[in-house]
Amino acid sequence: MDVSAPYVLCFGLIVGVIAIGLIGIKLISAKNGNERAIVLENFKWSVIGLLLLGLFTSIVYFLIATFF
């Protein structure tokens, strides 16, 4: 089975976009400032996680392609 990095990265990006969309819906439905602050904190971490997912996917694919 040959799974290349673009497929793994695309799957991660799709999951990330869905997560960001769900957080956006939650931000719209937040009732007060405290709830919005919590949602924005989650949004920040989801964006950071999405960037790290892309970085680690690239590194792992490079290591697999180089040594195996």
Name the token pair of 26. 């939650």
Return the DSSP state at 29.
T
Q: What is the pLDDT of residues 13-38, one digit of tens each?
A: 787 788 778 877 887 787 888 888 88
Q: Where are the domains of the chain?
A: 5-67
pTM: 0.55
Are the CB atoms for 12 and 61 separated by under 8 Å? no
Q: What is the pLDDT of residues 42-58, one digit of tens each?
A: 888 878 887 887 778 77
